Structure 1
Amino acid sequence: MKKTLFILMLFVSIVTFAAAKDAPSAAPTDFSIGEWNGNVYTNDFLGISYKLPDGWTKLSDEEIAALMNLSLEMLNDNQKALADLAKLTVVYYMLAKNPATGENISVFTEKVHLDVTAIYYLENLKTQLSTITAINYKIGEFTKETVGGREYDVLTVTAEASGRTLTQKYYCYKLGKYFLSIIASSMNGEKAAANLVKAFD
Structure 2
Amino acid sequence: MCWNFGVLWIRLRFLMKEWGWIVSGVGVDSFQVLNLAEFYAVIVSRRNVRCAGGRDCWLVLRLECCLAGFKSCTDGVSFSAPGISASPSEENLRYFNVMILGPSQSPYEGGVFKLELFLPEEYPMAAPKVRFLTKIYHPNIDKLGRICLDILKDKWSPALQIRTVLLSIQALLSAPNPDDPLAENIAKHWKTNEAEAMETAREWTKAYASA
User: Which of the five TM-score ranges fits, normalised by the shorter chain?
Assistant: under 0.3
Tell me the TM-score normalised to structure 1 length.
0.27
Higher RCO (Cα < 8 Å, 6 or more apart) = 1
More helix by share: 2
More strand by share: 1
